[in-house]
A and B are shown apart, each in its own frame.
Chain A
């Protein structure tokens, strides 16, 4: 009962995921939104690791996936930041509410 089981991991990752979603939908600052996306990705990573450990302890598939995701997250972050910087240069703002020129 004192052991930390699969359920605990899933609870953490689930909480992390919704915190990320909440942050993505409510924050106005693009950098903060990028951080929320990172939270979502990390919740997925925790899921992979937890399932790997508790269900298929003799395999490493989950680990590999996690490493892939970290790599891609890094690339994604750099692209996102590049976009944000360009946005700032053109609009002098990184407030997502004000960058709504692409509409009807």
Chain B
């Protein structure tokens, strides 16, 4: 096993680059910061791969079960003899897998940004933020303590805020960063309450102890199940609240409204944070606490399942109508995360029933690869045409051959066409859904078809459709060839990953109980999803391969649905209505009135009384010596009279 200090180095290297760049690099060697960050990440990535190899193939197994290993742990804050907040590192299949995903995608994004962000004014600041984010995300996945994960959870939130608002001179970017921060913060309130409920009853914040106490027949489990509030047990409440935190971060319906707006950030950031790593933190959180969900509280898992499938379906429908390519990708991210969520939801702990868990983690892994690739490809396209809108694109396949091929690979992967990565993970998910709930399976397979349709709508609109001609104003004539090499190499690497990642035997590596889960490949089962996906692609092909009027006719035919989806089902408007009209008027204004009149009024009254009294008595201090002397004599005489009265 690797030495502890090397494992700690993995999150510390990005932190070091953050501190170094923010303190000195920005000022003294701004142009070297990109290379510095990339080299640090490369080292972290190599370390992660070594750790993963060691864990999965050398030291992780005892018997045939993967163990949780804690190479490092220190008490950070001791509350009582039993409860403390620790800072520690936990290595188990999901955290090691996430380690590889985060460092790989982050490395790709660092490398890609060398080209993409070149010449930006705040280039060094950008790299320092990337370092901060990578540190926080690595800390999050390796947390051994539920409070530690909460700390890192907020840290990724703040790095996401900083990076969405990177172009802070754009009002829309500022609004988007605020929106993302507030919405996720709102969800994190649920998470915090959930943590407090669980840790209060379990009497510990440590993951291992927490899971142990709440999954076996202990006193703690009996009390938390017995305590009930509004008809549900405290355990259900705790787990659902924790899931709300996860749903906020993972952009699950109805807390997803921040994700599409978050696309205001630089495109590599969207690839790193809003596609591959941070947004799957919610899935990771549910997976981390999975034994409690699955063994002690299946109803909470049903909530996860329904929220997941709803988000997945709604996002897929909305994605069909959007015209900003990054927004299409954002909704597709939301849809795919919905997939991972409901896959966890249909799963149970251990053995055959744990298929959904394995599939969810598998999909998380493959999705990180092809979605990062899609975003980086979209970044290259945006870099080329200087626009996010589909109408400004079209016919780029000859101008950007490498981007075209890798983008096509990613689209095929997300559509679930064999033998690309997405096919395998999606098959596992569908199989898990089929085994447990036919309704979910039906919606899921429909979503898969829609996914294929909108991804190829995107693909055809960018690369086929019509011949490319630059903006009408003319000064954006393509002045350069395809993107620079620093941008193309990550595309190629991720493209290769999108092809191969499906062949990784996840059943052997990442399962709910750490044991080997044999996965069988059912060719007959795969026929339906693949056919539906192909159908989706064919429809997209007939609609968008060349410019024609079919999409418009279709939109007119389904005008109600089309308009609804185009306006994202008015969810933003509903939120605005609730906050501005309902909350502001019913709670905000009365509270403001109370504050201004009652609280402030009381303080002002005190001040006024003091002022009035001093105004009245200030004449006593006249500055006239003889007045003072007269008071003095009067006082003496008064005392004398009192003494005489008391002594006689």
Interface residues of A (CB under 8 A from B): 21, 24-26, 96-97, 99-104
B630 lies within 8 A of A100 (CB): no
Which of chain A's residues have a CB closer than 8 A to the CB of B622?
A: 100, 103
Beta-carbon nearest neighbor of A30 in chain B: B625
What are 22 A-B interface contacts by the 8 Å CB criterion? A21-B633, A24-B626, A25-B626, A25-B629, A25-B633, A26-B626, A96-B624, A96-B625, A96-B626, A97-B624, A99-B625, A100-B623, A100-B624, A100-B625, A101-B623, A102-B623, A103-B621, A103-B622, A104-B618, A104-B619, A104-B621, A104-B623
B630 lies within 8 A of A25 (CB): yes
Which of chain A's residues have a CB closer than 8 A to the CB of B624?
A: 96-97, 100, 103
A79, B619: Cα distance in complex, Å? 29
A99, B619: Cα distance in complex, Å? 16
Beta-carbon nearest neighbor of B615 in chain A: A104
Please give the distance in Å from A43's CB to the nearest CB on chain B: 14
Q: How many A-B residue pairs have CB under 8 A?
A: 27
Interface residues of B (CB under 8 A from A): 618-619, 621-626, 629-630, 633
Which of chain B's residues have a CB closer than 8 A to the CB of A26?
A: 626
Beta-carbon nearest neighbor of A28 in chain B: B626
A102, B621: Cα distance in complex, Å? 9
Closest 3 A-B residue pairs measured CB to CB?
Answer: A103-B623, A100-B623, A104-B618
Beta-carbon nearest neighbor of A103 in chain B: B623
A97, B627: Cα distance in complex, Å? 10
Which of chain A's residues have a CB closer than 8 A to the CB of B626?
A: 24-26, 96
Please give the distance in Å from A70's CB to the nearest CB on chain B: 23
A99, B623: Cα distance in complex, Å? 8
* Known contacts A24-B629, A100-B622, A103-B623, then 6 further A-B pairs from the complex at CB < 8 Å, ordered by chain A residue: A100-B623, A103-B621, A103-B622, A103-B624, A104-B621, A104-B623
Which of chain B's residues have a CB closer than 8 A to the CB of A100?
A: 622-625
Which of chain A's residues have a CB closer than 8 A to the CB of B619?
A: 104
Beta-carbon nearest neighbor of B624 in chain A: A100
A24, B624: Cα distance in complex, Å? 13
A26, B619: Cα distance in complex, Å? 20
Please give the distance in Å from A93's CB to the nearest CB on chain B: 13
Which of chain A's residues have a CB closer than 8 A to the CB of B629?
A: 24-25
Which of chain B's residues have a CB closer than 8 A to the CB of A103?
A: 621-624
Which of chain B's residues have a CB closer than 8 A to the CB of A97?
A: 624
A103, B626: Cα distance in complex, Å? 13
Please give the distance in Å from B621's CB to the nearest CB on chain A: 5
Beta-carbon nearest neighbor of B619 in chain A: A104
Which of chain B's residues have a CB closer than 8 A to the CB of A99?
A: 625
A21, B637: Cα distance in complex, Å? 12
Which of chain B's residues have a CB closer than 8 A to the CB of A101?
A: 623
Beta-carbon nearest neighbor of A98 in chain B: B624
Please give the distance in Å from B629's CB to the nearest CB on chain A: 6
Which of chain A's residues have a CB closer than 8 A to the CB of B618?
A: 104
A103, B621: Cα distance in complex, Å? 6
Please give the distance in Å from B556's CB to the nearest CB on chain A: 83
A1, B625: Cα distance in complex, Å? 45
Which of chain A's residues have a CB closer than 8 A to the CB of B623?
A: 100-104
Please give the distance in Å from B612's CB to the nearest CB on chain A: 15
Please give the distance in Å from A94's CB to the nearest CB on chain B: 12
Beta-carbon nearest neighbor of B614 in chain A: A104
Beta-carbon nearest neighbor of A101 in chain B: B623
Please give the distance in Å from A91's CB to the nearest CB on chain B: 13
A96, B630: Cα distance in complex, Å? 14
Beta-carbon nearest neighbor of A27 in chain B: B626
A25, B626: Cα distance in complex, Å? 5
A104, B624: Cα distance in complex, Å? 11
Please give the distance in Å from B141's CB to the nearest CB on chain A: 69
Please give the distance in Å from B498's CB to the nearest CB on chain A: 83
Please give the distance in Å from A31's CB to the nearest CB on chain B: 14
A61, B644: Cα distance in complex, Å? 27
A21, B619: Cα distance in complex, Å? 23
A79, B127: Cα distance in complex, Å? 76
A30, B366: Cα distance in complex, Å? 101
